[in-house]
């Protein structure tokens, strides 16, 4: 019956009926029927094979997921299982944009697949890596959810914040339990991924790239898929050479690579001759390193102070993949490479991952991690302003933030880059974020560099917000006994200081009726832009409509009074008070270093100096901070939103001393092992 229906469907009325056929037609009809039946049999077998293959691939996926769960040490974890199953979540972008999207952790336990309704979007663009995640926040703790999800219970909201400049992913789960699964599951994966050893990371990474390249999902790699694999690794290699290595690694003679064969292919392709040479020099004529040979290498090449048989044996135990070599107390080349790639083999001294420096010296004795125009996510002219930028800076250990304050609607001050098209954010929203994140990474003080352009009325609103939102965190009076020099980071732990204009001195505050009551706003804005039109606007405002400074705000400025630099004092004359500090553009700072370098260095022994990027850097590019550090300048502000070699050097500098954001400039002289040279001017 089914066959007849299929046949009629295929041939319709064109097939002659049996009663009216002419000789030969019946035979042809019978033959056609036989052919169709055979085709149907093939189709049914094909469907059966397809179902079998689908079941096979499902089993393979389960095996892959189980293997990666084991690698992460998260077998049978309920949160991880929920992520592997996937969820329908609400993606939030604005008050009017909420869309239901499906999110699922891939079997590699390293990537998240996100549903997209965009027509032109490729499958690869629907994935993001766990390694790209900076943090996962529970509740309405992002700018987007704070603005656009006030109607949703906080225990259903969470945000995924990325390391790069990608927008934060704001999500709403259908239930608090589902939200908890995602937050806890992602946090566990991020944590366990970071604690894997180098061998595990290598295999996990190779497997992740393999999954992307494996188009037919058979967990094997033919040569065409191998070419995709190389693209995933960003490796350019001649096809003939790649095919040669492919054949060498295909021990199973199946025209495909799998498991260890893929790893072998990767090792051959990425072989580093300088590592081979270093190993050969250390091992001599042998194929492995003995304990004594490893000790010599640690002493002479790595300059390890504690180098001895005990350290060498611990490294063999930790990094040697061969059990046979371990039993013989030897290290193979693979183990040697794993050691060099590890934290133990890093040029960075592991002892410096904690705060090890004396934090009891005056603030002027420390370099301070500092951000320029902290509120910006992109360029200086049209880029968006966001509270998220403050969170990112603080999470990177930044200790000096910039707030450009202007009059806003409804008597609420706003922050943005004045006289430009950058968007605006509320001053009070920024303070809430600073309150919540100021001391998550470091307990040492945070300086808020206020660029004040507000009217007296809105300055008083600023002062009220500072008092109400920051509370006891805000340093609003001098410390007892600190009367002749700046306090130390240790004395200021957990405190937020204001840098800004001040009426009178530190111990003799002025009032609105004093000669200093009428002051212009900070002129750094005009200097930074270095644009004639902008400078004219600021200068016009300064002369025609001078801003007065509210006493309430002035009194909150304690140890960081902003003043204009009037030159270095001559011998025997009094210069700036210890609590007064000036800001310099990078160009002016370089000129001073070239023309009066010794005087600048002496000045910076007892005074704080802030350096900011030149006004022509409207694309938010950065300058090298090294020259400024060499001159003793402490608050060298860079655009944290812009990656590049300058920020790499900056982050490297402040990775030292426990990444607390404050570091003594002489620390590089205290390290004993060979390190990457960061201090030489480029």
Confidence category of residue 531, pLDDT binned at 50, 70, 90: very low
Closest CA to 112 of 208, 29, 251: 208
Q: In the predicted model, what is the mean pLDDT of residues 26-45? A: 48
Q: Give 24-40 as a 3 state SS string.
A: CHHHHHHHHHHHHHHHH
What is the residue-wise DSSP string for 453-501? ---HHHHHHHHHHIIIIIGGGB--SPPTT--SSPPPTTTTTT-EEEEE-
The answer, as to whether pTM is greater than 0.85, is: no
**Per-residue tokens: 388:** 């998220």
CA–CA dist 584, 614 (Å, integer): 9
Question: Does the pLDDT of residue 271 top 80, yes or no?
Answer: no
The larger pLDDT score, comparing residue 587 to residue 28, is at: 587
Return the HEC string of 360-428.
CCCHHHEEEEEECCCCECCCCCCCCECHHHHHHHHHCCCCEEEEEEECCHHHCCEECCCCCCCCCEEHH
78-195 matches 198-269 in fold: no
Statement: residue 192 has pLDDT above 60: yes
DSSP, res 130: G
**Tokens representing residue 415 in the block:** 């922050």
CATH class of 198-269: mainly alpha
Is residue 546 within 8 A of residue 523, CB to CB? The reply is no
Q: What is the pLDDT of residues 428-469, one digit of tens each?
A: 999 999 999 999 999 999 999 999 999 999 999 999 999 999
Distance, in Å, from the CA atom of 403 to the CA atom of 397, rounded to the nearest integer, reads: 17
Catalytic residue among 417, 453, 603, 607: 417
Amino acid 13: pLDDT: 31
Q: pLDDT band for 119, please (50, 70, 90 cuts).
A: low
What is the reported pLDDT for 682?
A: 23
Query: Which letter, b or e, does each residue of 117-156 get, where b requires 16 or more Cβ atoms within 10 Å of its Cβ?
Result: eeeeeeeeeebbebeebbbbbbbbbbbbbbebbeebeeeb
Q: E strand or H helix at 241, and its extent?
A: helix 239-249
What proportions of the chain, in percent to the nearest 5, are helix, strand and coil? 45, 15, 40
| Mean pLDDT of the residues in the chain | 82
CATH of 78-195, one of 2.30.29.30, 2.30.30.40, 1.10.3720.10, 2.40.160.60: 2.30.29.30
CA neighbor of 498 nearest in space, from 410, 356, 400: 400
| pLDDT (0 to 100) of residue 264 | 83
Question: Which has the minimum average pLDDT: 4-13, 282-291, 582-591?
Answer: 4-13
Instruction: Name the 3-class secondary structure at 136.
Output: strand
- The predicted-structure confidence for 532-544, as pLDDT tens digits, reads as follows 444 455 454 544 4
CB atoms within 10 A of CB 33: 15
Q: What are the Cα distances from residue 678, in Å, to 94, 345, 365, 611, 675?
A: 43, 18, 19, 19, 9
Q: Which of 148, 151, 59 is nearest to 107 (CA)?
A: 59
In angstroms, the CA 72 to CA 228 distance is 26
Helix (H, G, I), strand (E, B) or coil at 102: strand
Chain centre to alpha carbon of residue 631: 29
Q: For 359-669, which CATH superfamily applies?
A: Phosphatidylinositol (PI) phosphodiesterase (3.20.20.190)
Which one is catalytic: 372, 465, 603, 607?
372
Does the structure show a pLDDT above 90 at 251? no
Query: Residue 76's pLDDT is what?
Result: 85
Q: Which of 70-84, 355-369, 576-590 has the lowest mean pLDDT?
A: 70-84
* Known active-site residue 417: yes
Query: Does residue 61 register a pLDDT over 70?
Result: no
Sequence spans of domains, the chain: 2-15+28-59, 78-195, 198-269, 273-347, 359-669
Give strand ranges (E) for 164-205: 169-172
Q: Is the pLDDT of residue 36 over 70?
A: no
Average pLDDT over residues 113-120: 72
User: What is the pLDDT confidence band of residue 84, given thresholds at 50, 70 and 90?
Assistant: very high
Q: What is the dihedral angle through the alpha carbons of 119, 123, 129, 133, rounded to the nearest 10 degrees?
A: 10
Q: Which two tokens stand for residue 423?
A: 């968007």
Band of pLDDT at residue 60, cut at 50, 70 and 90: low
CB atoms near residue 665 (< 10 Å): 17
**Level-2 CATH architecture, domain 273-347:** Orthogonal Bundle (1.10)
Distance between CA 156 and CA 172 in Å, rounded? 6
* 8-state DSSP, 154: G
Comparing 101 with 679, the larger pLDDT belongs to 101
* Confidence bin at 191 (pLDDT 50/70/90): confident
Q: Are strands 366-371 and 635-638 parallel, antiparallel or unpaired?
A: parallel
Q: How far is CA 297 from the centre of its chain?
A: 34
Q: How far apart are the first and last CA of the chain?
A: 84
């Amino acid at each position: 019956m089914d066959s007849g229906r299929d046949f009629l469907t295929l041939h319709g009325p064109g097939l002659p009926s049996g009663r009216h056929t002419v000789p030969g037609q019946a035979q042809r009809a019978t033959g056609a029927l036989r052919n169709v039946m055979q085709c149907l049999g093939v189709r049914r077998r094909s469907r059966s094979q397809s179902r079998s293959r689908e079941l096979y691939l499902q089993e393979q996926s389960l095996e892959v997921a189980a293997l990666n769960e084991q690698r992460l040490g998260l077998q049978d974890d309920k949160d991880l299982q929920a992520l592997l199953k996937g969820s329908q979540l609400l993606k939030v972008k604005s008050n009017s944009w909420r869309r239901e999207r499906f999110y699922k952790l891939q079997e590699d336990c390293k990537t998240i697949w996100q549903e997209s309704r965009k027509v032109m979007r490729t499958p690869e663009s629907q994935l993001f890596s766990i390694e790209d995640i900076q943090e996962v926040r529970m509740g309405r703790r992002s700018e987007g959810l704070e603005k656009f999800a006030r109607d949703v219970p906080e225990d259903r909201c969470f945000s995924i914040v990325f390391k790069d400049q990608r927008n934060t992913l704001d999500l709403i789960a259908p239930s608090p339990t589902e939200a908890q699964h995602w937050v806890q599951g992602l946090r566990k994966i991020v944590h366990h991924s970071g604690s894997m050893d180098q061998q595990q990371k290598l295999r996990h990474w190779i497997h992740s790239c393999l999954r992307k390249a494996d188009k037919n999902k058979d967990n094997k790699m033919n040569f065409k898929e191998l070419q995709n694999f190389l693209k995933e690794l960003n490796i350019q290699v001649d096809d003939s050479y790649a095919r040669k290595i492919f054949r060498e690694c295909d021990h199973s003679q199946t025209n495909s690579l799998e498991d260890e064969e893929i790893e072998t292919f990767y090792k051959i392709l990425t072989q580093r001759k300088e590592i081979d040479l270093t190993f050969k020099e250390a091992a001599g004529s042998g194929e492995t390193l003995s304990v004594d040979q490893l000790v010599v290498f640690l002493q002479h090449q790595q300059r390890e102070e504690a180098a001895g048989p005990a350290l060498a044996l611990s490294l063999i135990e930790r990094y040697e993949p061969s059990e046979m070599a371990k039993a013989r107390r030897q290290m193979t080349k693979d183990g040697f490479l794993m050691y060099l790639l590890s934290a133990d083999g890093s040029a960075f001294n592991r002892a410096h991952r904690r705060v090890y420096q004396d934090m009891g010296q005056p603030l002027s004795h420390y370099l301070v991690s500092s951000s320029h125009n902290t509120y910006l996510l992109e360029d200086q002219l049209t880029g968006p302003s966001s509270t998220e930028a403050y969170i990112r800076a603080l999470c990177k250990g930044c200790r000096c933030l910039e707030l450009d304050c202007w009059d806003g609607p409804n008597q609420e001050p706003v922050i943005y880059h004045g006289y430009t098209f950058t968007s605006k954010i509320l001053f009070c929203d920024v303070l809430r974020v600073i309150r919540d994140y100021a001391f998550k990474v470091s307990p040492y003080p945070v300086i808020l560099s206020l660029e004040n352009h507000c009217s007296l009325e809105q300055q008083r609103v600023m002062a009220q917000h500072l008092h109400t939102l920051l509370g006891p965190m805000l340093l609003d009076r001098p410390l007892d006994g600190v009367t002749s020099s700046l306090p130390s980071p240790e004395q200021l732990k957990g405190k937020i200081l204001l840098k800004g204009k001040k009426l009178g001195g530190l111990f003799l505050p002025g009032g609105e009726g004093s000669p200093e009551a009428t002051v212009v706003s900070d002129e750094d804005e005009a200097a930074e832009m270095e644009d004639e039109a902008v400078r004219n606007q600021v200068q016009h405002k300064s002369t025609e409509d001078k801003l007065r400074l509210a006493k309430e705000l002035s009194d909150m400025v304690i140890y960081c009074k902003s003043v204009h630099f009037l030159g270095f004092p001559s011998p025997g004359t009094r210069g700036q008070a210890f609590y007064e500090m000036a800001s310099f553009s990078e160009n002016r700072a370089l000129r001073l270093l070239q023309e009066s370098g010794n005087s600048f260095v002496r000045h910076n022994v007892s005074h704080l100096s802030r350096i900011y990027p030149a006004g022509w850097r409207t694309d938010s590019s950065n300058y090298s901070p090294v020259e400024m550090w060499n001159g003793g300048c402490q608050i060298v502000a860079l655009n944290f939103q812009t990656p590049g070699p300058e920020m790499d050097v900056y982050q490297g500098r402040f990775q030292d001393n426990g990444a607390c954001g404050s570091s003594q400039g002489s620390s590089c002289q205290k390290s004993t092992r060979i390190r990457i040279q960061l201090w030489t001017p480029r």
